[in-house]
Structure 1
Amino acid sequence: MAKTLKEAPITTANARSKLGAGEYPRRLDAEAAVWYRIGKRGGVWFARWRNWGPGANYKQVQVGPANDLNDKPTEGLFTFPQAEARARQIVDQARRGAKAAADGPVLTVRLAVEAYISDRDARESRRAGRTIRSDASRRLSRYILGQEKRGKQKAIPAEPLADVALHALKESDLLEWRDRLPETLKVTAKQRTINDLKAALNGAYAAHRLRLEPTLPAVIKHGLKAQQSDDDDAVPLARDNQILSDAQVGALLAAAREIDDEQDWDGDLFRLVVVLAATGARFSQVVRMKVGDVQRSQGRVMVPVSRKGRGGKSGNIPVAIGKDVLDALLPTVTGRKNDAPFLERWRYKQVAGGIRWVRDGRGPWHSPSELHRPWHDIRERAKILNVIPYALRHSSIVRGIRANLPIRLVAALHDTSVPMIERHYGKWIVDGLEELAARAVVPLVPVRDGNVVRLGVGS
């Protein structure tokens, strides 16, 4: 094209008015040009470029009708600068598509999400010691990939975003997908879904960055960045009704003991709730504890660090507990090896040909869902409605704040960060500091007593 292309004066409406019927080019680069075609019904812009892939030597796409009246922007008509900019976009997108196809199967959002789901499912299965489906798989299948009809559950169609090629992904594609998320979806659930998609797309870029545009990370970052909300609309992590007093925690533990006895848990349910309340740790942390993590002589337990965040984390957090808690845990550690799972429960199997279930050995707790049904009974017995197991963690954090422990220590004991504590528990931090500040208040105004003036300090 560079050797034979003869450019024409088509940059202004006045210049185009002097041309006869035909096609006239203006170069974009060595292998692409924007063309102006004039006929009986007016002028039209189109882009033409050398095809880098298989097929014809050249390709062309219409840009739109030309504004041959003047050089002012007009709705539905293109001036030369507008046509040139649009033609560059068309050529650039086509070239990126051809390059992506030449490098192998075109990478799409669907492929990125499926790869991410496979990795998450494999990781969660390794941790659980059995094949399970991750929460990310459920969220991304429901809100991006779609899913088939299951029983009474209707089929969910895939999102248009799923079939967008990564080399052509735009911020607008991600923003439009976000806007289509159900309004009934909780803020936290919506953010987790967004974070899963962000991780999937970033993972695809890391694995195939030689095939993708270097601008893709910026598209992902800005298209899926956390949106700011007004303070009135913000949903705090720790709601007031989930911060329990010591008496309420005691009531839950008493109820847990009763439900444990009534439902033949053999102490397993009670001990799990005791550890959650005493440590303020997450369920996923306490179920990974070993018998050797209970150090009775030091009056503490060693809680494994969480698996949240990037990179592999290891180690344990020492958490001091009382003698009452250690006594409650004594049956679990007596006569057992240090590397054995600390918290276990009975497993059941159904008798063949019947409806009766019998015990089939003991093993560690696997999922928070195993606590769902007995916890409902526990809170009903304790008469603390709507309280969730995570309230034990909230309450432990606030208990440390109210005890005027340094915020950094509270964060370390609960395997979280100071900014997270300040963001979600700021109200209780302020209350604790206000109490400390009140203790520093002393009388300052002199008191008159006849002719003697008595001062409040040092008098």
Structure 2
Amino acid sequence: MDLSKVGEREKLKAKQEPYWQRLRTGCYLGFRPSKRGGKGTWIARAYDEDAGKYRVKSIGDYGTLAGNEMFAAAKRDAEALAVLVEAGGEVRTKIETVADACREYAKTRPEAEKRFRRYVYSDPVAKVKLAKVRRRHLKEWRDRLEAQPALVTRNKAGDKRTRQRALSTVNRDMAVFRAALGKVLSPGAPNSEAAWQEALQAHRNADGRRTLYLDREQRRALVGAIVDEAAPFARAMCLLPLRPGALAALLAGDFDKRTAELTIGKDKTGKPRRIQLPGEAAKLFTMQIANKLPTAPLFMRNNGKAWDKSSWKLPIGAAVISAGLPSGASAYTLRHSTITDLVSAGLPLLTIAQISGTSAEMIERHYGHLASSAATEALGTLAL
């Protein structure tokens, strides 16, 4: 790639990933064409040997310069960045736009990063300068979010089946966005255009608890009806109260068969945790890591890839129908059912929260009624 030629740059198609030109070892200059016909943005990338990764910095559009002068100026600034990084200097990314605020917030929050990729980074709101954020910007973003249908499933032919986005899902998407902006913006005066926070207020009474429950016999039926490829993954969902995404992200090296300990690193909380597996679960996990490298997916599909939301929906949906289970049962139904059983068995709510990777407050809010029922039964045994 030769970015020094104005004519060649003008032919480039707009895309998210910059076009890179190597200036020297460990030093690159990038150019991202504008989707709206602007002059585009220049990006510098320099390798940090101490950190073992590249440092990336947007260096502007050089809009005051003529087209044939932009490359020279951008090249000079990219090389200066490389010198700074190689000398051990710290490069701080400027947080200027909504997208910048979201990326900074999501650095230690994988779940937030996923939502931002789906609903923020590609949206017009991403480019709004933080100093110019107004309630209308976020109201328009919210309207676009609520108008997007939610994907229910996809068949083998690739056809999608969707439904209207649930208000509880909208609340979760807005919550992380509101938190990211709250780190860098102060609440605006109520009932004014500066009151950006008012556009992201949650829908009331939308976060109802899950009610569809599968008992042990129904879960056995689902595992028995599912295709062989997905059976280990579904069985693990029935043995542990983990999120499907966290289970799918596990690597073979995350399970220590000597101690039967499992390290769960990629989860909604973003914080690694270790749990001790009981005998049946440990046996299943030991079988799954056999003859696998530590970096291989612990639960692997036939194509060698890890399971994800798009791939587990179809086999679980087919098994639900085949086993004659209630419609609407999903991977998350299995998580809800295992948590329900643990609460009903009298396990402390804090312990359940730690195992499942959520807060005790959430367990109390959604499952506390079960604990109250168990307490009532226990008190009933005191009758004389």
Return the TM-score normalized by structure 2.
Answer: 0.58
Residues 91-240 of structure 1 mapped to structure 2, 5 A cutoff: 112-115=97-100, 134-140=114-120, 144-145=123-124, 166-171=130-135, 174=138, 178=142, 182=146, 184-199=164-179, 201-202=181-182, 205=184, 222-224=197-199, 226-227=201-202, 229=204, 233-238=205-210, 240=211
Question: Does the aligned pair in 2 maintain the 1:345–1:363 contact within 8 Å?
Answer: yes
Task: Give the distance between the partners of 1:375 and 1:217, measured in 2 at CA.
Answer: 49
**CA 1:416–1:122 in 2, change beyond 3 Å: closer, same or farther?**
closer
Residue 321 (structure 1) aligned with residue 263 (structure 2): no
Residue 302 (structure 1) aligned with residue 262 (structure 2): yes
Residue 381 (structure 1) aligned with residue 353 (structure 2): no
Larger radius of gyration: 1
Task: Give the distance between the partners of 1:136 and 1:334, measured in 2 at CA.
Answer: 36
Note the alpha carbon deviations across 1:315-359, whole angstroms, 9 max, x for none.
Answer: x32143333x44444432334455543222222xxxxxxxxxxxx
Residue 271 (structure 1) aligned with residue 235 (structure 2): no
Equivalent position of 2:354 in the other structure: 412
Instruction: Name the SS of the counterpart of 1:318 in structure 2.
Output: strand
- Report the CA distance between 1:307 and its aligned residue: 3.7
**CA 1:200–1:413 in 2, change beyond 3 Å: closer, same or farther?**
closer
Task: Give the distance between the partners of 1:121 and 1:415, measured in 2 at CA.
Answer: 18
- Report the CA distance between 1:177 and its aligned residue: 5.9
Instruction: Name the SS of the counterpart of 1:317 in structure 2.
Output: strand
Instruction: Name the SS of the counterpart of 1:286 in structure 2.
Output: helix
Task: Give the distance between the partners of 1:294 and 1:180, measured in 2 at CA.
Answer: 42
- Aligned AA (2:235): V
Instruction: Name the SS of the counterpart of 1:390 in structure 2.
Output: helix
Task: Give the distance between the partners of 2:323 and 2:297, measured in 1 at CA.
Answer: 29
Q: Which consecutive unaligned segments of at least 5 residues does structure 1 have?
A: 1-103, 106-110, 128-132, 146-160, 207-213, 348-361, 444-459
- Aligned AA (1:406): P
Q: Which consecutive unaligned segments of at least 5 residues does structure 2 have?
A: 1-62, 65-95, 148-163
**CA 1:307–1:333 in 2, change beyond 3 Å: closer, same or farther?**
closer
**CA 1:137–1:254 in 2, change beyond 3 Å: closer, same or farther?**
same
**CA 1:428–1:114 in 2, change beyond 3 Å: closer, same or farther?**
same
Task: Give the distance between the partners of 2:144 and 2:249, measured in 1 at CA.
Answer: 38
Task: Give the distance between the partners of 2:133 and 2:292, measured in 1 at CA.
Answer: 56
Question: Does the aligned pair in 2 maintain the 1:304–1:317 contact within 8 Å?
Answer: yes
Q: 2:298 aligns with which of 328, 334, 342?
A: 342
Equivalent position of 2:338 in the other structure: 396
Count of aligned pairs between the two proteins: 269
Question: Does the aligned pair in 1 maintain the 2:262–2:275 contact within 8 Å?
Answer: yes
- Report the CA distance between 1:419 and its aligned residue: 0.3
Instruction: Name the SS of the counterpart of 2:274 in structure 1.
Output: strand
Task: Give the distance between the partners of 2:360 and 2:293, measured in 1 at CA.
Answer: 36
Question: Does the aligned pair in 1 maintain the 2:97–2:128 contact within 8 Å?
Answer: no
- Report the CA distance between 1:292 and its aligned residue: 4.5
Q: 1:255 aligns with which of 222, 225, 248?
A: 225
- Report the CA distance between 1:170 and its aligned residue: 4.2
Instruction: Name the SS of the counterpart of 2:301 in structure 1.
Output: strand
Residue 439 (structure 1) aligned with residue 374 (structure 2): no
**CA 1:428–1:224 in 2, change beyond 3 Å: closer, same or farther?**
farther
- Report the CA distance between 1:380 and its aligned residue: 1.3
Task: Give the distance between the partners of 1:338 and 1:177, measured in 2 at CA.
Answer: 42
Residue 422 (structure 1) aligned with residue 369 (structure 2): no
- Report the CA distance between 1:392 and its aligned residue: 1.2
Question: Does the aligned pair in 1 maintain the 2:133–2:196 contact within 8 Å?
Answer: no
Residues 20-31 of structure 1 mapped to structure 2, 5 A cutoff: none
Task: Give the distance between the partners of 1:166 and 1:122, measured in 2 at CA.
Answer: 19
Instruction: Name the SS of the counterpart of 2:120 in structure 1.
Output: helix
- Report the CA distance between 1:303 and its aligned residue: 4.0
Question: Does the aligned pair in 1 maintain the 2:171–2:203 contact within 8 Å?
Answer: no
Return the TM-score normalized by structure 1.
Answer: 0.49
- Report the CA distance between 1:411 and its aligned residue: 0.8
Task: Give the distance between the partners of 2:276 and 2:175, measured in 1 at CA.
Answer: 31
**CA 1:438–1:116 in 2, change beyond 3 Å: closer, same or farther?**
same
Note the alpha carbon deviations across 1:232-281, whole angstroms, 9 max, x for none.
Answer: x444232x22x22111111111112xx21xxxx3xxx1111111221111
- Aligned AA (1:376): G
Question: Does the aligned pair in 2 maintain the 1:287–1:343 contact within 8 Å?
Answer: yes
Task: Give the distance between the partners of 1:164 and 1:289, measured in 2 at CA.
Answer: 37
Instruction: Name the SS of the counterpart of 2:331 in structure 1.
Output: coil
Task: Give the distance between the partners of 1:287 and 1:217, measured in 2 at CA.
Answer: 44
Residue 290 (structure 1) aligned with residue 254 (structure 2): no
Equivalent position of 1:356 in the other structure: none
Question: Does the aligned pair in 2 maintain the 1:302–1:319 contact within 8 Å?
Answer: yes
- RMSD (Å) for aligned C-alpha atoms: 3.9
